[in-house]
């Protein structure tokens, strides 16, 4: 007997929008309601590729811009067998950043088109739902200073935000914008409801291919 597949649910958003906080809360809530759920995050800094990325983000090493973009994408592709296996086993995956971050961050650098940035991720397992946690820069600033990692400057983050806005025009992806300026519990309530709905819808459908 084949079991119903799990849903692939992605949280994206600007820096300090609360993605990690909400991913943990969602996994916990789904498990408490009797559903199998696990969290994944990108970059996954535990693999060999992830360690190269981590060293780059921590500014301990330099990598050419195209190269690091392809490494971020490879870091997702190396997880595809595991993602597919978990979904087939009926496990709902809650993912902290995905290909959309990959495209938004690299295309915020000079000389990178959205199209070039999307190409390496074409065909990845397509998320059933992508929730974009929307937070304006002033609110984000109230959640603490930017860290010391690469990309953590307000000018760069503004451009990243514009790229996300462009990506959200794509109706082939199931985007939902969430007002992340509210309390953690209020944001969680919306995320949980949307996730429960998509879990029911996705269980009888095959996993799609992103941007294909
Ligand atoms: N990157 C890339 O270039 N290419 C790629 O393909 C991918 C990523 C996948 C590492 O990301 C960097 O890699 C990232 C994008 C790039 N660069 N930047 N910048 P990361 O995911 O490892 O780490 P992060 O981006 O630094 O996480 P974050 O965005 O800063 O945080 P968050 O997950 O959105 O927020 P949080 O950690 O849940 O919460 C932040 C704080 O706010 C914390 O103190 C919370 O308690 C607080 N918080 C959360 N929610 C609320 C609410 N609702 N009210 C008040 N306070 C709140």
Structural domains in the chain, sorted by start: 8-204 (3.40.50.300)
> Dihedral, CA atoms, 19, 23, 24, 30, nearest 10 degrees?
160
Low-confidence stretches of the chain (pLDDT < 70) are 1-2
What confidence score (pLDDT) does residue 135 get? 93
Q: Which atom of ligand 1 is nearest to the CA of 73?
A: 6
Query: In angstroms, what is the span from residue 84 Cα to ligand 1's centroid?
Result: 25
Q: Which of 28, 97, 145 to probe ligand 1 with, by most ligand atoms within 8 A of CB?
A: 97
Burial class (CB in 10 A: 0-12, 13-18, 19+), 156: middle
Distant-in-sequence contacts of 172-177, Cβ < 8 A, 24+ apart = 172/211, 173/126, 173/127, 173/130, 173/210, 174/127, 174/128, 174/129, 174/130, 174/198, 175/130, 175/131, 175/132, 176/129, 176/130, 176/131, 176/132, 177/131, 177/132, 177/134
Say how many C-beta atoms besides its own lie within 10 A of residue 58's C-beta. 13
Q: Are 102 and 69 in contact (CB under 8 A)?
A: yes
The confidence score (pLDDT) of residue 152 equals 83
Report the alpha-carbon distance of residue 195 to residue 198 in Å, rounded.
5
How many CA atoms does the CB half-sphere of 64 hold within 13 Å? 3
- pLDDT of 2: 64
CB 53 within 8 A of CB 97: no
H/E stretch holding 193 reads helix 184-202
Please tell me the distance between residue 166's alpha carbon and the centre of ligand 1 in angstroms.
20
Q: What is the pTM for the complete model shown?
A: 0.97
């Amino acid at each position: 007997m084949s079991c119903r597949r799990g849903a692939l649910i992605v949280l994206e958003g600007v820096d300090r929008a609360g993605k990690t906080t909400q991913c943990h809360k969602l996994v916990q809530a789904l498990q408490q309601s009797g559903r199998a759920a696990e969290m994944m995050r990108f970059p996954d800094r535990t693999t060999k590729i992830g360690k190269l990325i981590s060293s780059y983000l921590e500014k301990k090493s330099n990598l050419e811009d195209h190269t690091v973009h392809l490494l971020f994408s490879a870091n997702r592709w190396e997880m595809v067998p595991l993602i597919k296996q978990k979904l087939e086993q009926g496990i709902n995956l809650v993912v902290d950043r995905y290909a959309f971050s990959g495209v938004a961050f690299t295309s915020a650098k000079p000389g990178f088109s959205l199209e070039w940035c999307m190409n390496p991720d074409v065909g990845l397992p397509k998320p059933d739902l992508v929730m974009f946690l929307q937070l304006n820069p002033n609110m984000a600033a109230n959640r603490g200073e930017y860290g010391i990692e690469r990309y953590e400057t307000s000018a760069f983050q503004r451009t990243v935000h514009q790229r996300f806005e462009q990506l959200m025009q794509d109706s082939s992806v199931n985007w939902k914008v969430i007002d992340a300026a509210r309390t953690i519990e209020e944001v969680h309530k919306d995320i949980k409801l949307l996730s429960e709905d998509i879990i029911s819808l996705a269980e009888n459908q095959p996993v799609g291919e992103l941007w294909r």
